Amino acid sequence: MLSDIEICRATYLQPITHIARDAGLLNEEYHPQGKYKAKISLKAIERLRDQKSGKLIVVTAITPTPLGEGKTVTTIGLSQGLKKLNQSVMACIRQPSMGPIFGVKGGAAGGGFSQVAPMEELNLHLTGDIHAVTAAHNLAAAAIDARIYHEQRQGYDAFEKRTGLKALRIDNQQVVWKRVMDHNDRALRMVSVGQNEPNKTINGYEREDGFDISAASELMAILALSKDLKDLRQRIGKIVLAYGLNGLPITTEDLQVAGAMAVSMKEAIEPTMMQTLEGVPTLIHAGPFANIAHGNSSIIADSIATKLCDYTVTEGGFGSDMGFEKACNIKASATDTKPDCAVIVATLRGLKVNSGLYDLKPGAAIPDSLFEPDNDALLAGFENLKWHINNVAKYGVPAVVAINRFPQDSQQELELLQQWVNELELPCGVAISESFAKGGEGAMELGKQVIEACQLPSCFKPLYSLDQSIEEKLMAVTEVGYGAANVTLSYQAQKQLKLYEKHGLNHLAVCLAKTPLSISTDGSVKGAPKGFEVNIRELRLCAGAGFIYALCGNVMTMPGLPDIPAFMALDLDDDGNIVGLS
């Protein structure tokens, strides 16, 4: 079979102007960026405000292996399947981060005959939104250290006299805004900045700092959760960067940097339209990870898509404990658009890994033996799928299981799995998806089931309401959601919780960062664990995004490169074409 990039290159693509026009956008509402990408103006939202919204389908998954279960393939494939069923449809996905592209996972455009195209433009830079987030984020970081430097060097009174600005008296040890970079760069997790030659302060005042990957930036969440440019600007102004020596929060407005940050993100707020290999218009917007961020593409993209067509297919990262939970508890609470249906992607190999009978190390390739028939492992791993079906039901959202078929899969096991789903007490659709090998045609059965599920009466409800206490919200996600026995807070997290309560921040949502490789916070525990504890080691305030960010277990907010990174395969051939991207 051809590689992803070869399939993509061999496919005829329509000019993006045709795609945008056929999707119902007016001339002045799209701005082509090259032949196959266009920025979509937020004017479209204004114009379409009174239109009836179509259905929103959120694609989620079982607890995945490190290589993923094919959620994007299924998202794109399903959108193509719905098109083949003569439905009006769009897909909405997040921009891929270059960290995983150069690291373990490779590209994130889908695969086979279900891709967003041109896949190399999606995977590399796109229209620069992640770079804009990175730039705006690091501007604030530079601004804090510069302000500390000038105030301390000149002295507070002299500083006020010289500049006419109020001295902010920032506590060096209480800068809570780290820097970010869109790479997997382990060495930047813990750094010290502002180092100097002995007895000099020419580079500022030394302090401990660190870099997160850009996907984890609060600005990325703000981009995804904002309704419009004004909302973006206001949210940016609420970001707490540091605390003063008096213990009070110092915001971007205090540093007079919020305006410049919003200016820097002015173009990023417009989603980018591309197309799938079968011509389904696809909006790409924001790029958060569901393990260390809220993990869903933007409210703005969904708003445009649901107004323009009857079915919008989007995805939440990783399993339903991760991106789907946040789609329901964070994203849906920030907008009027609620999920009408969930698609749970499962693979035979992924379920077998969830049996716990295979010793699969993170970063390691999946052994061939996983594709051999093994009903015991499949049955044991089925517990994980059941858990995710039940989890989706907690939110009152109808679900369809999509079995993402691999060529090596055994027919007998595929049938067995469908039978098990059909025998569950909880009504739930199930279909085999061959989106990878067959494109939309391979997802028509799935599409039919999804259309049926979308006709069911919606009784969506999140797990908590914003007026509950932060602790109650954490309990709702971990105990009601994950099914943990209980949730505990480290001493540091308890102190932080008290501080946020003192500052009147009880109304914020909660965003949990944890391993995606287990429903629990221990990546080695597979299946459907029970009775486990969730320990929150740190709480970070994201007042602009509108949530408290809780770090569980040993989750890292900056990934590292493996010893055989994906970038080694990448190069240009003699004709200047990219090779080695999949």
The answer to whether the annotation marks 24 as part of a ligand binding site is: no
Site map (CB under 8 A) of its own copies, residues 123-162, x = contact = -xx-xx--xx-xx--xx-xxx-xx--xx---x----x--x
18 is an interface residue for its own copies by CB under 8 A? no
Nearer to its own copies, 127 or 384 (CB): 127
Output the smallest distance, CB 375 to its own copies, in A.
33
Spatial contact of 145 and 193, defined as CB atoms under 8 Å apart:
yes
Rounded to whole angstroms, the Cα distance separating 364 from 486 reads 32
Residues in 204-233 that interact with its own copies by CB under 8 A: 204, 208-209, 229-230, 233
Nearest-CA neighbor of 57 among 302, 336, 299?
302
Sign, CA torsion 192/237/148/263:
positive
Nearer to its own copies, 189 or 448 (CB): 189
Nearer to its own copies, 192 or 422 (CB): 192
d(CA 282, CA 128): 17
* Binding map of its own copies across residues 553-572, x = CB under 8 A, - = no contact: -------xxxxxx-xx-xxx
**CA–CA separation, 183 and 244 (whole Å):** 31
| Rounded least distance, CB 186 to its own copies, Å | 5
Residues 34-73, one symbol each (x = binds its own copies by CB under 8 A, - = not), give xx---x----------------------------------
Lookup result for tokens 């992640």? 130
| 323 touches 296 (CB < 8 A) | yes
Which residues inside 239-278 make contact with its own copies, applying CB under 8 A? 256-260, 262-264, 266-267
Nearest Cα residue to 429 out of 413, 443, 408: 443
* Interface region with its own copies, contact rule CB under 8 A, candidates 73-81, 184-192, 376-384, 529-537: 184-192
Residue pair 285/297 in contact by the 8 Å Cβ criterion: yes
DSSP symbols for 539-582: EEEETTTTEEEEEETT--SS----SS-GGGG-EE-TTS-EES--
Shortest separation between residue 108's beta carbon and its own copies, angstroms: 16
3-state SS record for 386-403 = HHHHHHHHHCCCCEEEEE
165 binds its own copies (CB under 8 A): yes
Q: Is 59 helix (H, G, I), strand (E, B) or coil?
A: strand
Q: Contact between 196 and its own copies (CB under 8 A)?
A: yes
Q: CA 96 to CA 456: how far, in whole Å?
A: 33
Burial class (CB in 10 A: 0-12, 13-18, 19+), 433: buried
Angle of helix 129-154 relative to helix 156-163, nearest 10 degrees?
A: 110
Q: Establish whether 474 is an annotated binding residue.
A: no
Is 67 one of the annotated binding-site residues? yes
The residue from 191, 357, 424, 525 that contacts its own copies (CB under 8 A) is 191
Please give the C-alpha separations between residue 182 and each of 15, 448, 520, 545, 560, in angstroms, as whole numbers: 30, 39, 27, 19, 12
Sign of CA dihedral 218, 223, 228, 229: positive
| 515 labelled ligand-binding | no
CB neighbour list of residue 499: distance below 8 Å, 6 or more residues apart = none
At its nearest, how many Å lie between its own copies and the CB of residue 555?
13
Q: How far apart are CA 311 and CA 452, in angstroms?
A: 12
Rounded least distance, CB 194 to its own copies, Å = 4
State the first-to-last Cα distance of the chain, in angstroms, to the nearest integer.
13
Nearer residue to its own copies within complex by CB, 257 or 552:
257
- Between 266 and 507, name the residue whose CB sits nearer to its own copies: 266
Cβ closer to its own copies: 39 or 405? 39
User: Which residue shows structure tokens 């025998």?
Assistant: 423
Least distance CB 492 / its own copies (angstroms) = 14
Distance CA(347)–CA(507), nearest Å, equals: 39
Out of 192, 411, 419, 469, the only residue in the binding site for its own copies (CB under 8 A) is 192
Is 253 marked as binding a ligand? Answer: no
- Unique residue bearing structure tokens 């970079």: 181
Would you state the structure tokens that stand for residue 30, as one six-digit string?
């799209």
Nearest approach in angstroms of CB 493 to its own copies is 17
576 contributes a contact to its own copies by CB under 8 A: yes
Does the footprint of its own copies cover residue 187 (CB under 8 A)?
yes
Q: Which is nearer to its own copies, 225 or 581 (CB)?
A: 581
Task: Say how many residues touch its own copies, by CB under 8 A.
Answer: 80
Q: Which of the residues 110 through 129 are near its own copies (CB under 8 A)?
A: 120, 124-125, 127-128
Instruction: State how beta strands 311-315 and 89-93 pair.
Output: parallel
| Residue from 102, 324, 358, 464 in contact with its own copies (CB under 8 A) | 102
Whichever of 229 and 466 has its CB closer to its own copies, that residue is 229
Preceding omega of 427 cis (within 30 degrees of 0):
no
CB of 582 to its own copies, least distance (A): 13
Nearest-approach distance from CB 6 to its own copies, in angstroms: 16
C-beta separation of 383 from 354 below 8 A: yes
Among 244, 523, 553, 580, binds its own copies (CB under 8 A): 580
286 counts as binding its own copies under rule CB under 8 A: no
Is 71 annotated as a binding-site member? yes
State the nearest-atom distance from the C-beta of 579 to its own copies, in Å: 8
Residue 364 in the binding site for its own copies (CB under 8 A): no
CB 214 within 8 A of CB 181: yes
Of the pair 181, 417, the CB lying nearest its own copies is at 181
**Interaction of residue 163 with its own copies, rule CB under 8 A:** yes
Smallest separation, CB 285 to its own copies (Å): 16
Binding residues: 65-72
Binding residues for ATP: 65-72
